Amino acid sequence: MYKKLFIPGPTHVREEILQAQAAPMIGHRSKDYSDLQAEVTPKLQKLLYTQQRVYLYACSSTGAMEGSVRQGSTKRVLNTACGAFSKRWHQITAANGVPCDKVEVPMGQAITPELVDEALSKGDYDAVTIVMNETSTGLLNPVKDIAALIHEKYPDVLILVDAVSCMAGVKIEFDAWGLDVCLAGVQKCFALPPGLTVCAVSDRARERAQQVATSGYYFSYAQMDKKYEKHQTPATPAVSLIQALNAQMDDVLAEGLENRWKRHEKMAATVQEWARRYFALYSDERYLSPTVTNVENTRGISVAGLNEELGKRGAMISNGYGDLKEKCFRIAHMGDLTLDDVKWLLGQIEDILGLS
């Protein structure tokens, strides 16, 4: 039986979008492909409220995270960490030999402008990494406020944002906020199969990359730019996924961006209210994620057991991430899931656990 995915990626993909991937193949140096990329790029720029370049990489998000830190700094990177994925960006930065430091808050807490200010004041940094939506804790960091602080006090610091589990689910105003890189794989809020990453890059990030001696090749903005005006990519793109993305972006824009953000907020509010009633919320209430909720397992249920029962009823949720396994469970409410889907899921959990 198909299990509807309420996990924070890959998430549920609608049948029409699965079908859109099955369109006939086209050559990636053909006019047909250029037309496709020329069509999809402005839709992505609309989604991110940007006039800047949006690249498509045939990889999962980790690839573009690596590319952004390789090209983002000639001095030192500050990695902000508040959970598993933001910690990983620090590992990625260090693994690439880029000088870096980590500033960390306990799991469930947010990165604040004050914290970033204090950390940046202590070193000669020229880039900061921030995971906007920390998927391991279900927390949305205040990126807009952090970016405002950085622009005011540290104008040479690039702002690199992992929006992996919130892009296309929450409003991200790339230009107005002054972001430099904002990236996301498409298997989360875009509700597509995995394998493609969308990455907006500012002019000043592209200029910075020119200064970096060993900026790499596959993710190089300079390489991407050689083909950008032709609406192509230097290496072979994930053609089928881009065809599906083009179809999906029509649906996203037809839904209306404001409506899409509201739908995510409504789904989140419903899950949060339910979690407060029957369990507890793990993360700081002031920063709860609109796309994934981390529920603290205050009843000591078997999360694995719950998921097994849900599987028999056609649904799947996520266990707690890493050390939070069985201590928490995560319900994703992202992509094309609806409020009715979420209410149905919560009803099933109540029924299985005998909650009332």
Contact set with ligand PLP (CB under 6 A): 9, 60-62, 85, 131, 135, 162, 164-165, 185
- Interatomic CA distance for residues 14 and 22, integer angstroms: 13
Considering the complex, state which of residue 61 and residue 348 has its C-beta at the smaller distance from ligand PLP: 61
Considering the complex, state which of residue 115 and residue 292 has its C-beta at the smaller distance from ligand PLP: 292
Pairing type for strands 77-81 and 100-104 reads parallel
Considering the complex, state which of residue 160 and residue 164 has its C-beta at the smaller distance from ligand PLP: 164
Q: Give min distance, CB of 354 to ligand PLP, in A.
A: 32
Considering the complex, state which of residue 33 and residue 161 has its C-beta at the smaller distance from ligand PLP: 161
Q: What are phi and psi of 209, to 5 degrees?
A: -60, -30
Query: Residue holding tokens 């260090």?
Result: 94
DSSP string, 55-66: EEESS-HHHHHH
Q: Give min distance, CB of 77 to ligand PLP, in A.
A: 16
* E strand intervals along 208-291: 280-281
Considering the complex, state which of residue 6 and residue 85 has its C-beta at the smaller distance from ligand PLP: 85
- Identity of the residue numbered 123: G
Query: Residue holding tokens 């397992």?
Result: 297
Cβ neighbours of residue 11 under 8 Å, at least 6 residues apart?
5, 187, 188, 189, 191, 332, 334, 335, 336, 337
Instruction: Give the helix/strand (H/E) hosting 353.
Output: helix 339-353
Q: Give min distance, CB of 340 to ligand PLP, in A.
A: 25
